[in-house]
Structure 1
Amino acid sequence: MRRTILWMFLAVGGPAIAHDFWLQPQAFRVQPGAVTPFTLQVGHGPYRQRSPIPASRIVRFQRIGPAMRDDLRSSLHPGGRADDGTVAWTGRGTYVLALDTDNRAESHLPSLRFNDYLVAEGLTPALERRTREHRMDYDETEVYSRHAKVIVQAGDLDPAARDQVTEPMGMPLEIVPEVNPHALPRPSVLPVRVLYRGEPLAGATVKLTDLDHDEKPVEVHLTNAAGRATFALPVRGRWLLNVIWTRPLPPDGEADYETDFASLSFGFS
């Protein structure tokens, strides 16, 4: 089976071709009934750009809101002139958009760049395997997929509505906030859980980045044994949480690792 191959030359602090990926709505707070354009973004700092991902690789795009869950894949048009799609907010409350891609993208890295990448992202399963099998000077190939969520608040918070923001969406790798960032009274911290294949993931590096100043994260934490990490909740601005995890593949396969990239974006304007 042939896959799309991306030859990436990645160093710590260098181009983030396969790193941060998220859903960027025109606004994170909207009026009920509004129609909001959004873009798919990738990279950070000077390497940030709209993602070139084709629609054929997006296997899920859902809107989850008060008493609703629907498939919006037909609303996508990646690579559009001004945006990659639009979403209508049918009533007041907190909504989540959830997007998954397939894992048909492939990257190949020379050994030194791959080692730097593993260290920078805290990808211990790959580091442990490379050390154990004396592969630290091997070039490696990984297949990868993306999993992005965004929280959008339409109008006022509906305290009687079920809070789907704090519930898992069933993604292979997922950041699940344990409080709604728009809750009242406003929480001072944002605790999150990281789930990998439905189970809490310990030892994962979770980063919080200010999307208006995204050269580097403002907070970085490792998840504990229960898959949890806690961040100070910003009071304004546009924000991104992201995490990466990988697993070794059998030695007779086309790739050496399967990697998942997950993000959660939110904001207050």
Structure 2
Amino acid sequence: MFAFDCSQRVGSQGVRIALAMSLWSFAVSAQAHDFWIQPERYRIAPDTPTALTLQVGHGGDRQRSKIGLRRITRFAAVAADGRSIDLRDRLHPGDASDANFELPAGGYLLVLETDARAQSHLPALRFNDYLRAEGLTPALQDRQRNGRMQADGSENYSRRSKAIVRVGAADAMAQAQWRALLSQPLGLPLEIVLDQNPYAQPRPSRLPLRVIYQGRTLAGALVKLTRLEDDAQPFATQYTDADGRADFALPGPGRWLLNVIWTRPLPASSETDYETVFSSLSFELDDARR
């Protein structure tokens, strides 16, 4: 998806070229929207510098995100007791890694948020295909209701990502501490929260979760579970039920990504048609016997 920073002045010729590029990139992959935090390791030693990159896309279209530092509004590590350690000064997008961080022993959710200044503009057919592929029913219903299915579509969007990291003997954390860390929303506009600790011993068989949008559980959202070592296609998908819940079988060892997207129509006076949020949660499962 093509994105540009609205705070920059872009000439009309540059806009036309950029829009053409956006159409090409969307034709290559309808899944290039997915974005996540990728620590070099999800299980690290205390106070040990660890590299992190910001990833976007899947399969052959996977790449480092080119997002600029000024668009990242938050990068922090949230502990089970609610403490938030500000890590934004550790960010340096475009270097060999996008961030280096170190943390004391414990379990954490790394969390990253961007502003919503990025925009995408697509012709009607591709925009409608994108909305269907991602389960964005509010936009589809809005376009159908207003007779705009043949009109080009536009959105501004933001990204909200979390990653679970274990530092030192974090497995020693009590189940209640893990539950507090993983199941409590962090107040993001859109986020996935887990109702089961995937690191519990014995290893659970299910991975139940909730999707929260603007402070409420969200029904009808498409949640994708993807194995990052083999990420050309999702491993499994589910729509959230009336209570905003989905329930996956807990997958095997590997690095995993959960992601969800949601949108809302904007007033006719707005610069774009919709405001969209992309949200993800990444984690790593060890061999259950270890």
Q: TM-score w.r.t. structure 1 length?
A: 0.93
Q: Is the 8 A contact 1:103 1:143 kept in 2?
A: yes
Aligned match of 2:34: 20
Instruction: Report the counterpart of residue 131 of structure 2 in structure 1.
Output: 118
Describe the shift of the 1:246–1:182 C-alpha distance in structure 2 as closer, same or farther (beyond 3 A): same
Kindly report which structure 2 residues correspond to 1:166-181, keeping only aligned pairs within 5 A, or say none: 166-181=183-198
The amino acid of 2:199's aligned partner reads H
Structure 1 segments of 4+ aligned residues over 6 angstroms from their partners: none
Q: CA deviation at 1:89?
A: 2.3
Q: Cα distance, 1:13 vs. partner?
A: 7.1
| Count of matched residue positions in the alignment of Structure 1 and Structure 2 | 266
Deviations 1:61-119 (A, max 9, x none): 11012443211111100111x2001121211x321101110000011010000000000
Once the two structures are TM-superposed, the CA of residue 2 in structure 1 deviates from its matched residue by: 3.7
Q: CA deviation at 1:123?
A: 0.4
| Aligned position for 1:73 | 88
The structural deviation recorded for 1:179 is 1.5
Shift of the alpha carbon at 1:268?
2.7
Q: Is it true that 1:109 corresponds to 2:122 in the alignment?
A: yes
- More off after superposition, 202-211 vs 67-76: 67-76
Matched residue of 2:177: which SS? coil
Q: 2:46 aligns with which of 4, 15, 32?
A: 32
Contact 1:29 1:268 in 2 (8 A): no
In the alignment, which residue of structure 1 is the partner of 2:143? 130
The 8 Å contact of residues 15 and 47 in structure 1, kept in 2 or not, is answered as no
What is the CA–CA distance in structure 1 between the aligned matches of 2:223 and 2:27, rounded to whole Å? 16
3-state SS in 2 of match to 1:116: helix
- Whether the aligned pair in 1 keeps the contact of 2:93 and 2:99 (CA below 8 Å) is yes
Letter aligned with residue 44 of structure 1 = H
- Residue 186 of structure 1: CA displacement? 1.3
Deviation readout 1:137-159 (Å, 9 max, x if unpaired): 00011000000000011233133
Contact 1:109–1:139 at 8 Å: present in 2 too?
yes
1:197 is matched with which residue?
Answer: 214
Of 110-119 and 226-235, the range deviating more from structure 2: 226-235
Which structure has more RCO (C-alpha within 8 Å, separation ≥ 6)? 1
Q: Which amino acid aligns with 1:169?
A: L
Q: Which of 77, 102, 110 matches 1:63?
A: 77
1:16 CA drift (Å): 3.6
Instruction: Tell me, in whole angstroms, the C-alpha distance in 2 between the residues paired with 1:36 and 1:268.
Output: 18
2:157 to 144, 154, 173: 144
The equivalent of 2:104 in structure 1 is: 90
1:212-244 alpha-carbon deviations (Å, 9 max, x no partner): 100000100000011100111123100000000
Partners of 2:245 and 2:124 lie apart in 1 by 31
Bigger shift: residues 31-40 or 127-136: 31-40
SS of the residue corresponding to residue 115 of structure 1 reads helix
Matches within 5 A, 1:240-251: 240-251=257-268
The runs of 5 or more residues in structure 2 that have no matched partner are 9-14
For 2:172, the equivalent position in structure 1 comes to 158
CA distance in 2, matches of 1:134, 1:12: 24
Give the whole-Å Cα distance in 2 for the aligned partners of 1:2 and 1:229: 36
Aligned CA-pair RMSD: 1.8
Contact 1:208/1:240 (<8 A) preserved: yes
Alpha-carbon separation, structure 2, partners of 1:127 and 1:71: 38
Which structure is higher in strand share? Answer: 1
**Preserved contact between residue 207 and residue 242 of structure 1 (Cα < 8 Å):** yes
Decide which structure has greater helix share.
2
Q: Structure 2 length normalisation: TM-score?
A: 0.87
Cα distance change of structure 1 residues 208 and 138 upon mapping to structure 2, 3 Å threshold: same
**Equivalent in the alignment of 2:254:** 237
CA distance in 1, matches of 2:131, 2:122: 11
